[in-house]
Amino acid sequence: MSAPLVELKDMCISFGGVHAVDHVTVDLYPGEVVGLLGHNGAGKSTLIKILSGAYKADSGQILINGDEAHIHSPRDARSYNIETIYQTLALADNLDAASNLFLGRELTTAFGFVDDDAMEAETRKIMGKLNPNFKKFHAPVKALSGGQRQSVAIARAVYFNAKILIMDEPTAALGVHETQMVAELIQELKKQGLGIFLISHDIHDVFQLCDRLAVMKNGQLVGTAKTTDVTDDDVLGMIILGKCPPGATPGPGALVEDEAVG
């Protein structure tokens, strides 16, 4: 098999003595969806924020297509075609959809001025594909519903030809219909060869959407497994107890069997 699209090797980061991410190694191949699971505070979000440039790792290596990548800011991450949909959506509530979609990458006219009309036109195009019901192009995004806001955040991530997509709880705030929309979008992006990290609490989602999963607990990796090799209960055991089932590859955070008994 060729080099993975992304390889996070031995990542560590700590905040005031707490090891938020402790020697974690995960990888991601093109056209693959890898689910990251774990309790609140297990370190999933922190781990992907290192990849998206929001945090800087204390140690560890990021390899993209086998080459070492230096990501020190969100701008660096974007230059590697890494796009992120944050759990908080990271939208400027006072601006409209187009301004948010192009924030930090505005289209400009020949004179260097922001070209709002061109951006609105592009936004109308992509929203037409993603969410045809979307009509409020001039309202600030705070006036939009949860699903509409989510589709703005998704549009921002997919518009700029992402190769690596990070989705932090993309369906947490959504209704049934919108969740289905996100699921279809993920399948579509997979077909186009994107690699997707999907952070989720919903085990059902993970089994439906992911090819592989990685479970974290207390900042450490419990183990990774193909979704076809493990059951719901196995995964719950990994999340809650840190117990690695036979079908999974154990990581440094896996519970050693005799400790579990004791």
Binding footprint of other proteins on the chain (CB under 8 A): 52, 54, 73-75, 78, 84, 86, 88-95, 99-100, 103-106, 108, 112-114, 116-118, 120-121, 140, 143
Identify the helix (H) or strand (E) that includes residue 138. Answer: none
- Cα separation, 83 vs 70, whole angstroms: 16
CB of 104 to other proteins, least distance (A): 4
- Cα separation, 84 vs 52, whole angstroms: 7
Kind of pairing between the strands at 164-168 and 82-85:
parallel
Token pair in block for residue 65: 């297509």
Q: Which is nearer to other proteins, 24 or 157 (CB)?
A: 157
Residue 62, strand partner residues: 8, 69
Q: Which is nearer to other proteins, 88 or 228 (CB)?
A: 88
Q: Which is nearer to other proteins, 68 or 93 (CB)?
A: 93
CB of 117 to other proteins, least distance (A): 5
Cα 185 to chain center, whole Å?
14
CB of 197 to other proteins, least distance (A): 16
CB of 37 to other proteins, least distance (A): 23
The half-sphere exposure of 164 on its side-chain side, counting CA atoms within 13 A, is 22
CB of 163 to other proteins, least distance (A): 17
Identify the helix (H) or strand (E) that includes residue 47. Answer: helix 44-51
Alpha helices in 160-219 (DSSP H): 176-191, 203-209
Q: Which is nearer to other proteins, 10 or 160 (CB)?
A: 160
Q: Which is nearer to other proteins, 37 or 157 (CB)?
A: 157
Identify the helix (H) or strand (E) that includes residue 2. Answer: none
